[in-house]
Amino acid sequence: MDPEDFSTLTRDYLNQCNIAVRNHNGFAASYIGDAFQALFGYPIAEEDDAERALQLAFELLRLVPEIEVPDAPPLRVRIGIASGVVVVGDYLAAPAGVSTVAMGSIPNLAQRLQSIAEPQTILTDQRTYDSTAGAFEFTDLGPQTLKGFSNLVHVWRAEKPHILENRFAKRTQLTELVDRRTELTQILKLWREVVTENHGQAALICGEPGIGKSRLIFEAHQRMPRCTYLTLQCSTAYSNSALFPFLTLLKRYAGMHAEDLADISLERLEALLSFSNIPVSQSLPIFAKLLSISQTRYPSPNMTSAQQRMISVRVIVDWLHHVSRINRVLLSIEDEQWIDPSSSDVLEALIGEVGSFPMLILITTREKRLRKPLKRSELRKITLERLSDDDAQLLVGNAVSGKTLPQGMRSSVLAKAEGVPLYVEELARAAFETSTSHSRS
Ligand SMILES: Nc1ncnc2c1ncn2[C@@H]1O[C@H](COP(=O)(O)OP(=O)(O)OP(=O)(O)O)[C@@H](O)[C@H]1O
Ligand SMILES: [Mg+2]
C-alpha cells in the first residue's frame, strides 16, 4: 500500500479505536505503530473494569473489520487483556505518540497475550477470567509458556458475552460480606411490606464507586425467596440511546437474539406488547423500530415523536405491571447516573404507580439524587458510607481468605483504601500476591 494511504488508514483505525475506548470509559494510554494500550480503572478503579475491557474488545472485533481499506482485505485485530495493579505514569523519554503509559508485569503480560492471539481473537489471563467468567463465555487454553515470564501463565480465550441476570453472577469468588446490617434490614423491611400488603416500594441506594451498592442488592436478593428478579444495567456508552436498559430487559425476557429471524422476533415482541391497553397495531411499529426489527405487518404510525415516546413508556410500564401480577418482582436499576432520558420517564411512571403493584424497585446511583428529580416521591433513600476501620480490617482478612498479611502491608492497604470496599479488596489481594511472590523468591 502507498505509504500515504497506509498512514491515513492507521490514523483512521486509531481514531475509531480511541472513540470506542472512551465510550467504554477506558483510557487510551499509548500508541506504538498500529498497536495501542487501553487502561481500565485508571485514574479511578471501578468494580467492573475487567468487564468493560472485554466489552470494548468485542466491540473492536466488530468495528475494526468494517473500516474501509482501499484495494485490500479487511483489517483484523488481536487483543490481549491482563488484570492487576499497575504503575501508571508519564513516560519522559517517550517516543512520539506515547505519553501516559502503564508499566510493569501486567501490561507486559497483556502484550504477550496479544502477540500469541490469532487474528480476531481475545486472550486473557486468569485474573481477568476470574472477574468476568459469568459475563462471557471462555475457552480454557491451559497453562502456557510466555516469553519473559518464568512461571507458566494460564490463558483463556474469550468467545462471546453471556446475557446476564445479575452482575455478581460473573464472579468466581465473592468476599464474605462485612457490615451493612442496617441497610439490609431497611431493604428487607420494604420487601416485607411488598409481600404482606401487596404494596410496592422504591428505594434509591446512593454512594461513591465501589462502596457496595450492587453488592447490597445482591445480598438483599439472596434473602428474598421466590421473587422474580429483573435487573437493568445503565451504561455510559448508551446514556443517549432511547430506552436502552429497558429494551435490553425486554429482549432478555422475551428470549430475542440478534441472530433470530425477523418473523420470530416479531412474534415474541407481539406477545409481550399485548399486555398493554395500547393496541399492538400502534405499539408494534414503534418497538420494531426501536429494536431494529424490520416489519411490514403494521404501517408506521402517524404520530409525533413525543406521542411515540409516551406510548413506549406506557407499554413498558404496563408490561412490568403484568409481570408483577404473575409473581412479586424485585426490579433493580443499576447505575442510574447513566440512564437515558426516555428510561427516566419509564422510571418516573413506575415509581409514581409502584404502590399498586407487588414490586420492590431498587435503584443505584453514584449521585445524590435521580437524574430526573421526582415531583412527589415515594422514594426512600439509603446512603452507603465508607467502612469503619474495624470492618475494613475484617474485609482485608476475608479478601485474602483468612491468610495473614505482614503488618506493614496491612496498614498500607487500609490507609490507601480509605474504607472503600472495592479498594480494600483489590489492594489486599495485590499486597498478598506481592508478599507471597517475595517469600517464594
Ligand atoms: N460490605 C461488603 N463486604 C464485603 N465486600 C464488599 C462489601 N461491599 C462491597 N464489597 C465488594 O466490593 C466490590 C465493589 O462493590 P460494588 O460493586 O457493590 O460497588 P458499587 O457501589 O456497586 O460500585 P459501582 O458504583 O462501580 O457500581 C465488590 O467486589 C463487592 O463484593
Ligand atoms: Mg454497582
Cβ pair 211, 199 in contact under 8 A: no
Query: What residue owns the CA closest to ligand 1's atom 26?
Result: 209
Distance 24 CA to ligand 2 centre (A): 15
What is the DSSP annotation of 8-56?
A: HHHHHHHHHHHHHHHHTT-EEEEEETTEEEEESSSSS--TTHHHHHHHH
Which residues contact ligand 1 via a Cβ below 6 A? 46-47, 174-175, 177-180, 207, 209-215, 335, 364, 366, 395, 421-422, 425
Query: For 341-378, b where at least 16 C-beta lie within 10 A, e where not — what string?
Result: ebbbbbbbbbbbebeebbbbbbbbbbeeebbeebeeeb
Distance 104 CA to ligand 2 centre (A): 29
Distance 191 CA to ligand 1 centre (A): 22
Ligand 1 atom with least separation from CA of 217: 18
Query: What residue owns the CA closest to ligand 1's atom 24?
Result: 209
β-sheet bridge partners, residue 122: 79, 158
Query: What residue owns the CA closest to ligand 1's atom 18?
Result: 212
Query: What residue owns the CA closest to ligand 1's atom 16?
Result: 212
Ligand 1 atom with least separation from CA of 395: 4
How many residues appear in the chain?
441
Helix (H) or strand (E) holding 433: helix 421-440
Ligand 1 atom with least separation from CA of 174: 31
Q: How far is CA 13 from CA 54, 68, 367, in A?
A: 19, 9, 35
Ligand 1 atom with least separation from CA of 168: 31
Query: Cβ of 244: how many Cβ atoms within 10 Å?
Result: 22
Distance 239 CA to ligand 2 centre (A): 16
Q: Cell 480511541 sits at which residue? A: 18
Q: Where are the alpha helices (DSSP H) in 299-420?
A: 305-326, 341-353, 389-399, 407-417
Q: Pairing state of beta strands 153-161 and 136-144?
A: antiparallel
Ligand 1 atom with least separation from CA of 216: 18
Distance 218 CA to ligand 1 centre (A): 10
Round to whole Å and give the CA distance between 441 and 433: 12
Q: Where are the alpha helices (DSSP H) in 98-167?
A: 105-116, 126-132
> Tens of pLDDT along the chain (441 residues)?
777 888 888 888 888 888 888 877 788 876 677 788 899 987 777 767 888 899 899 889 988 888 888 778 888 999 999 998 777 766 555 444 445 677 778 889 999 999 999 999 999 999 999 888 777 888 999 999 998 888 899 999 998 876 555 556 555 567 889 999 999 999 999 999 999 999 999 999 999 999 999 999 999 998 988 888 899 999 888 888 899 999 999 888 877 777 677 788 888 888 889 889 899 999 999 999 999 888 888 988 889 999 999 999 999 999 999 989 888 999 999 999 999 999 999 999 999 999 999 999 999 999 999 999 887 777 999 999 999 999 999 999 888 887 788 888 889 889 998 999 999 988 888 888 777 665 554
Backbone φ and ψ for 428, nearest 5 degrees, come out as -65, -45
CA 202, 206, 209, 213 dihedral sign is negative
Taking the CA of 333 as reference, the closest ligand is 2
Taking the CA of 384 as reference, the closest ligand is 1
DSSP character at residue 207: -
Grid coordinates of 83: 488484570
Res 172: pLDDT: 57
